Amino acid sequence: MSIFSYAVLSVDGGGIRGIIPGIVLAEIERRTGRPIAESFDLIAGTSTGGILAAGLTIPDEKGKPKFSAEKLIELYTGPNGQEIFHKTFPGALNYSRSIFGSLFSGKRIEGILEREFKAARLKDACTNLLITSYNTQEKKPFYFKSSLARETEAEDFPLREVARCTSAAPIYFPPKQVSYGGMIGDQVIPDLALIDGGVFANNPSVLAYVEAIRMWKETDEYKEQFKRPVQAMMEAAEQTTDGTRDMAAFVQPDNFAPPVFFVSIGTGHSGKKHSYKKVRSWGARRWLLPLIDILMQGVSESVDYQMQYLLPPFMDSQNNPHPRYYRFNIKVDPEFSDISDASKKNTEQLVRYGQELVAQMSEPPKISQEELDRRGGVAPKAPLDIIVERLQDVANQRLLRELREAHQSN
């Protein structure tokens, strides 16, 4: 039996550089023969990753995913991207405008999202969604969750609004006010003032992992798996006379991790460096845009570090590692790192970066002859090949759960 019952996808923020994960997701769709929403049980996204997450889960008239990843890339390339990142003034004049207001109009992106996403709502998403935003009125993160939307009317937003809010990056786009009427703490909040979730979670992987744990704990699989170990642990505790609680005999640390296969995709990390000599005399104006890039990249890399600890490889009986967590990203040259550059030259290069990342994912890792001998001559597979296999394993597990639930309901 597969050790993975659920698959989770997380996509970083990064403006126009959303083209890069879009290319990767299109390749996964091509190799699996399934829409992304039918391969993953939970999709999390921030900013441009939130736009991709929302778009990939919009249902058509038959309840199937309406957009392929390849189709969504068109939101960034050509007329759409240039419309969203339309610069009223060239060069320094446009940069100076950010001192007094947002660089880009919110109405342009809203028009495109309304045209493409139409009336689709969060509760109707084809798979579970978690999309980040930040509420400036309450000074708290705000999470758009399809699980909540299906339970509470106040949590059910149009997906076009969800996409607009998660991508309302300060300086670049104005904040978005949306009607709410839901509870925050013990208060009813009539409306929200939301900005880009990248201000606190540009890489939403840890949030997605926590949500996956919550989802898993509601399943019969979780209850059955922990029923006997927990009972045994309690019985042992009652019999212990020295006051110790030796839980290791009953529940190993790995058993606490949900049976999740996790894929996290970045939007490229900037190769732009800032030496001490360069930055020591910078004031607020000079720090403005570089600071956003530094914060985005720093947050994303620190979350990757945490995820490697939370989901280490599963070791089989032959001591071979089986990754539960994959993180993919690629270095972007400084010339192409601007998250708002929707020019033909830049978007074409971002497409090439996406293709280069796919090529890297398609290469098996190099191992020593000693390691190859230890493995009995079996060479490791390419990460992308493993992902396709794992997603098929998860799809099989999902089908078994659905058949079991259908049988129980009858």
Whether 49 has a pLDDT exceeding 70, the answer reads yes
Classify domain 6-232+258-409 at the CATH topology level.
Answer: Cytosolic phospholipase A2 catalytic domain (3.40.1090)
**Nearest CA among 6, 97, 131 for reference residue 394:** 6
pLDDT at 254 over 90: no
Q: Is the pLDDT of residue 7 over 90?
A: yes
In this structure, of 123-127, 198-202, 294-298, the range with the lowest mean pLDDT score is 294-298
CA distances from 149 to 108, 204, 366 (A): 27, 19, 45
CA 30 vs CA 42, 132, 221, 358, 392: distances in Å:
20, 28, 31, 12, 13
Whether residue 50 has pLDDT greater than 90: yes
- Per-residue pLDDT, 191: 94
Mean pLDDT of the chain: 87
User: Taking the domains of the chain in order of start, what are their residue ranges?
Assistant: 6-232+258-409
**How confident is the model at residue 231, as a pLDDT?**
52
Asked if 268 contacts 14 with a C-beta cutoff of 8 angstroms, the reply is: yes
Q: Which residues contact 170 (CB under 8 A, 6 or more apart)?
A: 195, 196, 199, 292
Is the pLDDT at 337 greater than 50, yes or no? yes
Lowest model confidence (mean pLDDT) among 76-90, 278-292, 332-346: 76-90
Q: What is the pLDDT of residues 145-159, one digit of tens each?
A: 999 999 999 999 999
Q: Which is higher by pLDDT, 92 or 382? A: 382
Percent of the chain clearing pLDDT 70 (strictly above):
88
pLDDT at position 168: 96
Please report the pLDDT score of residue 377 as a whole number: 84
Cβ contact 349:76 at 8 Å: no
Inform me whether the pLDDT recorded for 68 exceeds 90. Answer: yes
> Residue 94 pLDDT > 70, yes or no?
no
Angle of CA points 128, 194, 145, to nearest 5°: 15
- Tell me the C-alpha distance between 201 and 208, whole Å: 11
Model pLDDT for residues 101-149, shown as the tens digit of each residue: 788 989 999 999 999 999 999 999 999 999 999 999 999 999 999 999 9
Q: Which tens digits make up the pLDDT trace of 358-402?
A: 999 999 999 899 888 888 888 889 999 999 999 999 999 999 888
Residue, of 271 and 300, whose pLDDT is higher: 300
Alpha-helical segments (H) within 8-122: 19-32, 36-39, 48-56, 69-72, 78-84, 91-97, 106-117
Cβ atoms 137, 20 nearer than 8 A:
no
Q: Is the pLDDT of residue 239 over 80?
A: no
The pLDDT of residue 315 is above 90: no
**Average pLDDT of the residues in 303-307:** 94
What number is the average pLDDT over the span 61-76?
A: 96
Q: Could you tell me if residue 15 is left (phi over 0), alpha (psi between -120 and 50 degrees) or otherwise beta?
A: left
> What integer pLDDT is reported at residue 316 of this predicted model?
76
User: With 50 as the cut, is the pLDDT of residue 6 above it?
Assistant: yes
Query: Residue 229: which pLDDT band, with cuts at 50, 70 and 90?
Result: low
Residue 356's φ and ψ, nearest 5 degrees, are: -65, -40
